[in-house]
Amino acid sequence: MEFQNVSVKRRSIRKYKALPVEHEKVRAVIEAATLAPSWKNSQVTRYYVAESKEAVAAVRETMSEYNRGNTANAPVLIVVAIEKNRSGFGADGKPTNELGNGWGLYDCGLQNMNLLLKAADLGLGTLVMGLRDAEKLKSIFSVPDSQIIVSVIALGYADIDPQMPPRKSVDEIAKFF
């Protein structure tokens, strides 16, 4: 699919078909994430991928009731984390500027956008979720303390074709000088 198509057609999907996603496609969306730019190429984003029924159920347990409803039937849930204190930090371990780990989160967002667009390109739906219990997720996947849990991304075949929610105009978000 062309970029314009993929970027316009991608939607947050809150209803999935009870169909598995091919493991190669799961790897392909993560491979796309690795192509994104990052602060000094630090590549701090990490993915914990729940593909088995047990792992998916365990991740869903950490989510709000709303997101549990959104992910009924979702065959894959990708837990996203970042290595902290690296992106945006100097060799001396000090933050380079006031944003600190904000830069790692920035890099993570860029990577995840690649992941979402690749999924759309492969005919898969996604949902980024910020409503989840980070401590429970850390314990399920033995995530080290050097990492911060960010989001959970659902991946699967869409069982719904939502409209695009309204977007702000270019003039609302940009000032030209």
Ligand X SMILES: Cc1cc2nc3c(=O)[nH]c(=O)nc-3n(C[C@H](O)[C@H](O)[C@H](O)COP(=O)(O)O)c2cc1C
Within 108-137, the residues that bind ligand X by CB under 6 A are 127-131
- Phi, psi angles (nearest 5°) of residue 135: -65, -40
Among 12, 73, 85, 96, contact with ligand X (rule: CB under 6 A): 12
171: phi then psi, degrees, rounded to nearest 5: -70, -20
Q: Which stretch in 11-19, 32-40, 89-97, 169-177 sits in contact with ligand X by CB under 6 A?
A: 11-19
A 10 A CB-CB count for 155 gives: 27
Q: Closest CB to ligand X among 12 and 96? A: 12
Closer residue to ligand X in complex, CB, 24/87: 87
Q: Which of 37, 45, 64 is nearest to 130 (CA)?
A: 64
The minimum distance between CB 91 and ligand X, in angstroms, equals 30
Question: Judged by CB, which is closer to ligand X: 15, or 138?
Answer: 15
Q: What is the largest CA-CA distance in the chain?
A: 54
Q: Map the footprint of ligand X across residues 57-76, applying CB under 6 A.
A: 67, 70
As given in the structure block, the two tokens for residue 151 are 């989001």
Residue 1 in the binding site for ligand X (CB under 6 A): no
**How far apart are CB 28 and ligand X at their closest, in Å?**
20
Residue of the chain from 11, 15, 46, 138 that contacts ligand X (CB under 6 A): 11
* DSSP character string of 120-137: HHTT-EEEEE--B-HHHH
Q: At closest approach, how far in Å is the CB of 177 from ligand X? A: 28
> Residue ranges of the alpha helices (H) in the chain?
3-9, 23-34, 53-61, 65-70, 102-121, 134-140, 170-173
Which residues in this chain contact ligand X in the complex, by CB under 6 A?
11-12, 14, 67, 70, 127-131, 151, 164-165
